Amino acid sequence: MSKSKQGSSFYILRDDLLHPLVNGNKARKLDALLPLVEDHKVTDLVTCGGCQSAHTAAVAVSCAERGLRSHLLLRGEQPDVLTGYNLVSTMYGNVQYVPRSRYANREEMLRTYADLVAGEDGTVLWAKDIVEGRDTMNVAKMDDFSSMKTSRRKVLIVNEGAGDALALLGMFRLVQHLSQDHLLGKKRPVKFVVDAGTGTTAVGLGVAAMSLGLPWEINAVMLADTLKNYKRHEDHLIAEFSRQFPGSVFCSGLDMNQMIKWIDRQHPRKFGKVLEGEVEMCRKIAQETGVLVDPMYTLAAWETATELVQDEKSSIVVMLHTGGTLGMFGLAQRYKTCFTNLKD
Protein backbone atom coordinates (compact mmCIF):
# COMPACT_ATOMS: atom_id res chain seq x y z
CA MET A 1 0.00 0.00 0.00
CA SER A 2 3.03 2.29 0.03
CA LYS A 3 4.54 3.51 -3.23
CA SER A 4 7.38 5.51 -1.71
CA LYS A 5 9.64 2.45 -1.60
CA GLN A 6 9.47 -0.11 -4.37
CA GLY A 7 8.53 -3.57 -3.17
CA SER A 8 7.31 -2.50 0.26
CA SER A 9 3.75 -3.23 1.28
CA PHE A 10 1.58 -4.12 4.24
CA TYR A 11 -1.45 -6.32 4.69
CA ILE A 12 -4.86 -5.08 5.80
CA LEU A 13 -7.27 -7.28 7.70
CA ARG A 14 -10.58 -6.04 6.31
CA ASP A 15 -12.70 -6.37 9.42
CA ASP A 16 -14.63 -3.37 8.09
CA LEU A 17 -16.24 -5.84 5.67
CA LEU A 18 -17.51 -8.32 8.29
CA HIS A 19 -21.09 -7.02 8.19
CA PRO A 20 -22.78 -4.02 6.53
CA LEU A 21 -23.45 -2.37 9.90
CA VAL A 22 -21.75 -4.50 12.58
CA ASN A 23 -18.09 -4.59 11.68
CA GLY A 24 -14.55 -3.94 12.80
CA ASN A 25 -13.54 -4.38 16.41
CA LYS A 26 -17.15 -3.76 17.52
CA ALA A 27 -18.15 -7.07 15.95
CA ARG A 28 -15.15 -8.83 17.49
CA LYS A 29 -15.95 -7.52 20.98
CA LEU A 30 -19.51 -8.84 20.76
CA ASP A 31 -18.37 -12.24 19.46
CA ALA A 32 -18.40 -13.96 22.86
CA LEU A 33 -21.16 -11.85 24.42
CA LEU A 34 -23.97 -12.57 21.97
CA PRO A 35 -24.04 -16.37 22.51
CA LEU A 36 -24.28 -15.74 26.28
CA VAL A 37 -27.14 -13.33 25.70
CA GLU A 38 -29.02 -16.01 23.79
CA ASP A 39 -28.15 -18.82 26.25
CA HIS A 40 -29.48 -16.82 29.20
CA LYS A 41 -32.64 -15.81 27.34
CA VAL A 42 -32.02 -12.09 27.74
CA THR A 43 -34.96 -9.95 26.63
CA ASP A 44 -33.40 -6.47 26.87
CA LEU A 45 -29.89 -5.11 26.63
CA VAL A 46 -28.83 -1.70 27.98
CA THR A 47 -25.61 0.05 26.96
CA CYS A 48 -24.25 3.53 26.27
CA GLY A 49 -21.96 5.53 24.03
CA GLY A 50 -21.35 8.80 22.26
CA CYS A 51 -23.78 10.31 19.78
CA GLN A 52 -22.00 8.60 16.86
CA SER A 53 -21.12 5.42 18.75
CA ALA A 54 -20.32 2.46 16.51
CA HIS A 55 -20.69 0.26 19.59
CA THR A 56 -24.32 1.22 20.28
CA ALA A 57 -25.18 0.77 16.61
CA ALA A 58 -23.57 -2.68 16.61
CA VAL A 59 -25.51 -3.65 19.73
CA ALA A 60 -28.78 -2.35 18.30
CA VAL A 61 -28.43 -4.25 15.03
CA SER A 62 -27.20 -7.45 16.70
CA CYS A 63 -30.10 -7.41 19.16
CA ALA A 64 -32.68 -6.73 16.44
CA GLU A 65 -31.33 -9.65 14.41
CA ARG A 66 -31.94 -11.89 17.43
CA GLY A 67 -35.35 -10.55 18.39
CA LEU A 68 -34.11 -8.65 21.45
CA ARG A 69 -34.78 -5.09 22.58
CA SER A 70 -31.82 -2.72 22.89
CA HIS A 71 -31.80 0.45 24.98
CA LEU A 72 -29.08 2.92 24.03
CA LEU A 73 -28.08 5.84 26.23
CA LEU A 74 -26.30 8.40 24.06
CA ARG A 75 -24.22 11.23 25.48
CA GLY A 76 -25.33 14.79 24.79
CA GLU A 77 -28.12 16.22 22.68
CA GLN A 78 -29.94 14.83 19.69
CA PRO A 79 -28.44 16.26 16.49
CA ASP A 80 -30.59 18.21 14.05
CA VAL A 81 -30.03 15.58 11.35
CA LEU A 82 -29.67 11.89 12.19
CA THR A 83 -26.83 10.34 10.19
CA GLY A 84 -24.25 7.57 10.39
CA TYR A 85 -24.18 5.41 13.50
CA ASN A 86 -26.63 7.73 15.24
CA LEU A 87 -29.23 7.00 12.59
CA VAL A 88 -28.53 3.25 12.71
CA SER A 89 -28.90 3.24 16.51
CA THR A 90 -32.20 5.09 16.24
CA MET A 91 -33.60 2.81 13.53
CA TYR A 92 -32.69 -0.45 15.27
CA GLY A 93 -32.82 0.39 18.97
CA ASN A 94 -34.47 2.56 21.60
CA VAL A 95 -32.39 5.72 21.98
CA GLN A 96 -32.31 8.09 24.95
CA TYR A 97 -30.09 11.18 24.98
CA VAL A 98 -28.46 11.79 28.35
CA PRO A 99 -27.02 15.11 29.62
CA ARG A 100 -23.24 15.03 29.88
CA SER A 101 -23.33 15.72 33.61
CA ARG A 102 -25.39 12.60 34.24
CA TYR A 103 -23.49 10.53 31.69
CA ALA A 104 -20.26 11.16 33.61
CA ASN A 105 -21.37 8.55 36.18
CA ARG A 106 -21.89 5.73 33.69
CA GLU A 107 -22.38 2.89 36.15
CA GLU A 108 -25.14 4.65 38.07
CA MET A 109 -26.77 5.84 34.84
CA LEU A 110 -26.82 2.35 33.30
CA ARG A 111 -28.08 0.66 36.45
CA THR A 112 -30.87 3.20 37.01
CA TYR A 113 -32.13 2.88 33.46
CA ALA A 114 -31.85 -0.92 33.50
CA ASP A 115 -33.97 -1.03 36.65
CA LEU A 116 -36.64 1.05 34.90
CA VAL A 117 -36.63 -1.34 31.94
CA ALA A 118 -36.84 -4.40 34.19
CA GLY A 119 -39.80 -3.10 36.17
CA GLU A 120 -40.92 -4.56 39.48
CA ASP A 121 -40.74 -8.24 38.51
CA GLY A 122 -37.76 -8.20 36.14
CA THR A 123 -34.09 -9.02 36.78
CA VAL A 124 -30.97 -7.02 35.98
CA LEU A 125 -27.45 -8.37 35.52
CA TRP A 126 -24.17 -6.91 34.32
CA ALA A 127 -22.44 -8.82 31.53
CA LYS A 128 -19.54 -9.75 33.80
CA ASP A 129 -21.99 -11.35 36.28
CA ILE A 130 -22.71 -14.12 33.80
CA VAL A 131 -19.03 -15.03 33.61
CA GLU A 132 -18.12 -14.44 37.23
CA GLY A 133 -21.26 -16.05 38.74
CA ARG A 134 -19.39 -18.72 40.66
CA ASP A 135 -20.34 -17.92 44.25
CA THR A 136 -23.65 -19.17 45.63
CA MET A 137 -25.44 -15.85 45.45
CA ASN A 138 -24.56 -15.18 41.83
CA VAL A 139 -25.23 -18.75 40.72
CA ALA A 140 -28.70 -18.60 42.26
CA LYS A 141 -29.32 -15.24 40.66
CA MET A 142 -28.14 -16.50 37.28
CA ASP A 143 -30.28 -19.63 37.48
CA ASP A 144 -33.28 -17.44 38.23
CA PHE A 145 -32.25 -15.13 35.40
CA SER A 146 -32.16 -17.98 32.88
CA SER A 147 -35.32 -19.79 34.05
CA MET A 148 -37.70 -16.84 34.43
CA LYS A 149 -40.94 -16.87 32.53
CA THR A 150 -40.77 -15.15 29.19
CA SER A 151 -43.28 -12.53 30.35
CA ARG A 152 -40.70 -11.05 32.73
CA ARG A 153 -37.90 -8.76 31.60
CA LYS A 154 -34.36 -10.12 31.74
CA VAL A 155 -32.12 -7.09 31.35
CA LEU A 156 -28.40 -7.26 30.69
CA ILE A 157 -26.11 -4.23 31.08
CA VAL A 158 -23.10 -3.93 28.77
CA ASN A 159 -20.42 -1.36 29.51
CA GLU A 160 -19.60 1.45 27.12
CA GLY A 161 -17.73 0.08 24.12
CA ALA A 162 -18.01 -3.48 25.50
CA GLY A 163 -14.59 -2.72 26.93
CA ASP A 164 -14.28 -5.53 29.46
CA ALA A 165 -12.49 -8.88 29.67
CA LEU A 166 -15.26 -10.80 27.91
CA ALA A 167 -14.46 -8.83 24.75
CA LEU A 168 -10.97 -10.37 24.69
CA LEU A 169 -12.40 -13.76 23.70
CA GLY A 170 -13.35 -12.37 20.30
CA MET A 171 -9.73 -11.41 19.72
CA PHE A 172 -8.65 -14.92 20.76
CA ARG A 173 -10.80 -16.39 18.02
CA LEU A 174 -9.40 -13.89 15.49
CA VAL A 175 -5.77 -14.61 16.41
CA GLN A 176 -6.33 -18.38 16.34
CA HIS A 177 -7.77 -18.00 12.85
CA LEU A 178 -4.94 -15.82 11.58
CA SER A 179 -2.24 -18.09 13.02
CA GLN A 180 -3.21 -20.96 10.73
CA ASP A 181 -0.41 -22.08 8.42
CA HIS A 182 -2.15 -20.93 5.24
CA LEU A 183 -2.54 -17.40 6.65
CA LEU A 184 0.05 -15.74 8.91
CA GLY A 185 1.26 -18.95 10.53
CA LYS A 186 2.82 -19.42 13.95
CA LYS A 187 6.51 -18.85 13.20
CA ARG A 188 6.77 -15.74 11.05
CA PRO A 189 7.30 -12.45 12.94
CA VAL A 190 4.35 -10.10 12.52
CA LYS A 191 4.00 -6.45 13.42
CA PHE A 192 0.30 -5.81 13.99
CA VAL A 193 -1.00 -2.24 13.87
CA VAL A 194 -4.30 -1.18 15.43
CA ASP A 195 -5.78 2.18 16.38
CA ALA A 196 -6.56 2.29 20.10
CA GLY A 197 -9.64 4.02 21.47
CA THR A 198 -10.10 2.27 24.81
CA GLY A 199 -7.23 -0.10 24.00
CA THR A 200 -9.29 -3.26 24.59
CA THR A 201 -8.72 -4.60 21.07
CA ALA A 202 -4.97 -4.13 21.33
CA VAL A 203 -4.84 -5.89 24.69
CA GLY A 204 -6.94 -8.74 23.31
CA LEU A 205 -4.57 -9.20 20.38
CA GLY A 206 -1.56 -9.13 22.68
CA VAL A 207 -2.96 -11.56 25.25
CA ALA A 208 -4.06 -13.99 22.55
CA ALA A 209 -0.75 -13.84 20.66
CA MET A 210 1.28 -14.37 23.84
CA SER A 211 -0.97 -17.21 24.99
CA LEU A 212 -0.39 -18.99 21.68
CA GLY A 213 3.35 -18.30 21.74
CA LEU A 214 3.30 -16.27 18.55
CA PRO A 215 6.24 -14.02 17.58
CA TRP A 216 3.97 -11.03 17.12
CA GLU A 217 4.26 -7.42 18.17
CA ILE A 218 1.11 -5.33 18.67
CA ASN A 219 1.59 -1.66 17.79
CA ALA A 220 -1.31 0.18 19.41
CA VAL A 221 -1.67 3.79 18.27
CA MET A 222 -2.94 5.80 21.23
CA LEU A 223 -5.82 8.09 20.25
CA ALA A 224 -7.86 8.99 23.31
CA ASP A 225 -5.77 8.79 26.48
CA THR A 226 -2.34 8.87 28.08
CA LEU A 227 0.16 6.02 28.16
CA LYS A 228 -0.35 5.72 31.91
CA ASN A 229 -4.10 5.22 31.53
CA TYR A 230 -3.72 2.76 28.65
CA LYS A 231 -1.34 0.70 30.77
CA ARG A 232 -3.77 0.88 33.69
CA HIS A 233 -6.58 -0.40 31.45
CA GLU A 234 -4.30 -3.16 30.17
CA ASP A 235 -3.51 -4.31 33.74
CA HIS A 236 -7.21 -4.19 34.65
CA LEU A 237 -8.27 -6.28 31.66
CA ILE A 238 -5.59 -8.90 32.26
CA ALA A 239 -6.49 -9.19 35.95
CA GLU A 240 -10.20 -9.43 35.12
CA PHE A 241 -9.59 -12.00 32.40
CA SER A 242 -7.45 -14.14 34.72
CA ARG A 243 -10.20 -14.02 37.36
CA GLN A 244 -13.02 -14.84 34.95
CA PHE A 245 -11.20 -17.60 33.08
CA PRO A 246 -8.79 -19.18 35.61
CA GLY A 247 -8.61 -22.41 33.64
CA SER A 248 -7.46 -20.74 30.43
CA VAL A 249 -4.01 -21.16 28.94
CA PHE A 250 -3.28 -17.53 29.72
CA CYS A 251 -1.16 -16.81 32.77
CA SER A 252 -1.46 -13.45 34.47
CA GLY A 253 2.27 -13.56 35.24
CA LEU A 254 3.24 -13.15 31.59
CA ASP A 255 5.06 -9.94 30.75
CA MET A 256 3.10 -8.04 28.11
CA ASN A 257 5.64 -5.23 27.76
CA GLN A 258 7.40 -6.93 24.87
CA MET A 259 4.15 -7.85 23.15
CA ILE A 260 2.20 -4.57 23.16
CA LYS A 261 3.86 -1.31 22.16
CA TRP A 262 1.74 1.75 22.98
CA ILE A 263 2.79 4.43 20.52
CA ASP A 264 1.78 8.01 19.75
CA ARG A 265 0.04 8.75 16.49
CA GLN A 266 2.07 10.66 13.92
CA HIS A 267 0.08 13.84 14.49
CA PRO A 268 -1.09 13.93 18.15
CA ARG A 269 -4.15 15.99 19.00
CA LYS A 270 -7.08 16.16 21.39
CA PHE A 271 -9.35 13.19 20.73
CA GLY A 272 -12.19 14.01 18.37
CA LYS A 273 -10.31 16.68 16.45
CA VAL A 274 -9.61 16.37 12.72
CA LEU A 275 -6.56 18.15 11.36
CA GLU A 276 -6.38 20.04 8.09
CA GLY A 277 -5.64 17.81 5.13
CA GLU A 278 -6.65 14.53 6.78
CA VAL A 279 -9.99 14.20 5.00
CA GLU A 280 -8.15 14.79 1.72
CA MET A 281 -5.67 12.06 2.69
CA CYS A 282 -8.51 9.61 3.37
CA ARG A 283 -9.97 10.42 -0.03
CA LYS A 284 -6.61 9.86 -1.71
CA ILE A 285 -6.18 6.48 -0.02
CA ALA A 286 -9.71 5.45 -1.03
CA GLN A 287 -9.20 6.43 -4.66
CA GLU A 288 -5.79 4.75 -4.96
CA THR A 289 -6.45 1.53 -3.01
CA GLY A 290 -10.21 1.06 -2.65
CA VAL A 291 -9.83 1.06 1.15
CA LEU A 292 -11.81 3.66 3.11
CA VAL A 293 -10.23 4.91 6.31
CA ASP A 294 -11.49 7.71 8.54
CA PRO A 295 -9.47 10.61 10.01
CA MET A 296 -10.53 9.92 13.59
CA TYR A 297 -9.37 6.32 13.97
CA THR A 298 -8.14 4.18 11.11
CA LEU A 299 -6.04 6.83 9.35
CA ALA A 300 -3.75 6.75 12.39
CA ALA A 301 -3.22 2.99 11.96
CA TRP A 302 -2.65 3.43 8.22
CA GLU A 303 0.01 6.09 8.79
CA THR A 304 1.79 3.92 11.35
CA ALA A 305 1.70 0.84 9.12
CA THR A 306 3.10 2.90 6.23
CA GLU A 307 5.92 4.11 8.47
CA LEU A 308 6.75 0.67 9.87
CA VAL A 309 6.93 -1.03 6.50
CA GLN A 310 9.61 1.36 5.22
CA ASP A 311 12.26 -0.01 7.56
CA GLU A 312 10.91 -3.49 8.19
CA LYS A 313 12.96 -6.36 6.73
CA SER A 314 12.21 -9.52 8.73
CA SER A 315 8.59 -9.04 9.77
CA ILE A 316 5.40 -8.54 7.84
CA VAL A 317 3.19 -5.61 8.78
CA VAL A 318 -0.56 -6.16 9.22
CA MET A 319 -3.05 -3.38 9.87
CA LEU A 320 -6.32 -4.33 11.54
CA HIS A 321 -9.08 -2.25 9.97
CA THR A 322 -11.34 -1.56 12.93
CA GLY A 323 -14.29 -0.39 10.82
CA GLY A 324 -15.99 2.88 11.67
CA THR A 325 -16.99 3.66 8.10
CA LEU A 326 -20.33 5.23 8.99
CA GLY A 327 -18.53 7.57 11.37
CA MET A 328 -17.58 9.62 8.31
CA PHE A 329 -21.18 10.85 8.14
CA GLY A 330 -20.96 12.24 11.65
CA LEU A 331 -17.64 13.88 10.86
CA ALA A 332 -19.15 15.47 7.77
CA GLN A 333 -21.71 17.12 10.04
CA ARG A 334 -19.10 18.49 12.43
CA TYR A 335 -16.40 19.42 9.92
CA LYS A 336 -18.44 20.64 6.96
CA THR A 337 -15.69 22.69 5.34
CA CYS A 338 -13.28 19.71 5.34
CA PHE A 339 -15.72 17.80 3.15
CA THR A 340 -17.21 20.58 1.00
CA ASN A 341 -13.72 21.70 -0.03
CA LEU A 342 -12.66 18.31 -1.38
CA LYS A 343 -11.18 18.83 -4.84
CA ASP A 344 -9.04 16.88 -7.28
Residues belonging to the active site: 53
From start to end of 81-171, where are the E strands? 94-98, 123-126, 154-157
Half-sphere CA count of 105, side-chain side, radius 13 A: 7
The pair phi, psi for residue 105, each rounded to 5°, is: -100, 80
The one-character DSSP state at 74 is E
Instruction: With both helix axes pointing from N to C terminus, report the angle between 278-289 and 298-311 in degrees, rounded to the nearest 10.
Output: 70
| AA letter at 314 | S
How far apart are the C-alpha atoms of 219 and 217, rounded to whole Å?
6
How far apart are the C-alpha atoms of 260 and 163, rounded to whole Å?
17
The one-character DSSP state at 216 is E
Residue 190, SS3? strand
How far apart are the C-alpha atoms of 297 and 331, rounded to whole Å?
12
